[in-house]
Each structure stands twice: as C-alpha cells, then as structure tokens.
Amino acid sequence: MSIVRLSPPEPPPRYSAPLLARLSGQPGNIMSAVASLVLLPSAAERLPFPFRALAQTPQLTLVLAGGGYVTFLVLFLPLYAVSFLVTATGAWLVLLGTVYVGGRGLTRTISYPGASKQIQRDIELEYTKHVSSRLELRDRSRGGDVWVLTRALEELTAHASMPMEEAAGGMRGAGGAGEGNAAAAAAAAAGANTLAPSAFAEAESLLECLTELMPTLEEAFGLADEGLVLQLRRVRRVPLQLPGLRAIRWEGLPRQHQQGRGVAAASVARHSQVDLLILDRSFSSLSAVAQRLMGGWTKWAIWGFTGWDAHVAADYLACRCYKASCRLEARAGGPMLRL
C-alpha cells in the first residue's frame, strides 16, 4: 500500500517587469493595452494621436471640452428658446417685452425730441462743435457764463451813466468772488436811477447770477488746467470725422461715454457745468409734471422709459442762472459760452 502525499496548490505565476515589458511591446494584444494604460509610466505615449495629446496636456482637454459645450449651446440654445416661447409663460414674457419696448419708444417720440435720429445727430454735431470751441478758445476767453452775463449787462446799460460803465468794466475784470460781489453791488447802485424798471430787474437778476456763478467758475478754472473739465456722457463713440474727438485727444481729457439719448453734460468736480443750448433744446418739451417728477424715487422709472439722465436734468431745472444764460445765448443767435 503506497502513501500518496498531497502537495498544496501552486500559486499563480506573477508577472515580472520584463514580462510586462514584453506584453506591452506585442502589437494587437489586449494585455499590452491594459499594461500600457495602467502599469507603465509612459502610457500617454502609446495612445493614438488625438488621445495622446489630450492625455499629455490636461489644459488642452479642458479647453476642448469647454469649446464643445459652448458649441452645443450655440447650436441648440435657439431651439430651446423657440420651444420655450411657444409655451404660455414665454408668450407672456414676449407680450410684456413688447409693451415695454413700445411704450418706451412712444414716450420718446411724443415727449423727447432726442428720440428722432435726425435731431440726435444734430445735437451730437452741435455738441462736438461746442467741445472743440471750448478747448481751442479756453485760454483766450476764460469768462464762461460771466462773459455772457456781463455782455448782457452792457447791452442793457448802453445808455447808462459813466459810473455804471466803470462798474461793469470792473466786474468784467474781477477774478474772485469778493471782487465780483463788490462790482455787482456798484453796478446795481449806479444803474438804479438810469434803467427802466423791467431792464433794471433783469440786470439785477443777472448780477445775482453772476455772483452765484463766480465760485464755481474759479474752481472750474483750476480743474481746467489739470485737464479734468469735460466728462463726456454718451452711449456711442464720437465719429472720427468730427472735430470734437480730435480736440479731446489733443487735450488729453477723459473719454467716458454715457449719454441719455442726446443729453450731453460736462461735469466740473461736484458742480454740474451743463451744455446750456443742448439741455434747453432737449428739455424744452418737458411738462411741469415731468419736471417735478425728475429725481427721487421716480428717476429710475423715468430713465427706463425715456433714457434721460435724471441728475443732469435736476441740475438744469434747479439752476435758474444756467437757464438765464441759455436764454441770453439763444437771443444772441449763437454760442457764446466758453470754458
């Protein structure tokens, strides 16, 4: 009787590094692909051409994936939008948008002259001419509203006595608010007995405006030397053929473009030096109700429907001296304001 010894089962063979290298080198073998992807450090080099570059550069993979996603949105998003618009919610949104756009256009057409493209182009041309003339003649005529008001006083007091003329001349050469006040008082005292009541009342009003505008002009002149006088508020860029753009570049002034459909403003620090002719032309059709509603909690609603700059409108409507200067310019038949 023979004794049979049972031996334990042999362990499965272990693949060594040379064996794995041989497997990975055999073409068309599944094990070579698995070994090259999982076990070998140079797996990316053994992939086909497009996948090799993607595996070696993860940034390129992310860029291509993002580009594919954007392409998908560009191609299929319009289809999704159309499918949404045909629903009840989409139809309501289309109706509300139509009412808003139509109401805004109707409001501008009826009450705001800048809504007309032709008038808007005229305003832009006129504004660029004003900008160019201000920059070119700023050093030769630094009187601004003071020059307009003093010229109006000269016209009113052409037949006045010599003391009145001397007082007006002193006022015209005054460089500070104190001298302007003294000259204004002297002019008023000299012309009290020589002017008609209506002319004297108008002259007195102009002198008050002159006194009020003097500190603002002093600050404006200081900022003008630093090239910070004009701040254009426009939606569209000024066309290259217009003189205003060249003047702006020459003087190195800031070009911040934001405009409420034809309304242009030039800001000096916290004071608002508005373009009088344009604002008078733009806001001449505003009713009293619209003027009272300008600003406050209604300014956003007004801006949404009309595009008016509520701050510029409020500055213009609140300052009677600016409007007085504007009336004098219109009476003279041409721009006289220089900055």
Tens digits of residue pLDDT in 55-94: 777 787 888 888 888 888 888 888 888 888 888 888 898 8
**Bridge partners, residue 124, by sequence:** none
Q: Which segment, 69-73, 212-216, 298-302, 306-310, is predicted with the most confidence on average? A: 69-73
For 178-192, the DSSP string reads: HHHHHHHHHHHHHHT
Highest mean pLDDT among 53-57, 187-191, 242-246: 53-57
Token representation of residue 246: 């060249």
Q: Which of 199-208, 212-221, 245-254 has the lowest mean pLDDT?
A: 245-254
Model confidence pTM above 0.75? no
Give 176's contacts (C-beta < 8 A, 6+ positions apart).
Answer: 214, 218
DSSP string for 75-113: HHHHHHHHHHHTSHHHHHHHHHHHHHHHHHHHHHHHH-G
∠ at Cα 317 (214, 197), nearest 5°?
Answer: 65
What radius of gyration do the chain's Cα atoms show? 39
Any idea which of 31-35, 68-72, 151-155, 169-173 has the lowest mean pLDDT? Answer: 169-173
Instruction: Compute φ and ψ for 173, nearest 5 degrees.
Output: -95, 5
Predicted local confidence at residue 196, as pLDDT: 56
Q: Is the pLDDT of residue 167 over 60?
A: no
What is the pLDDT at residue 37? 52
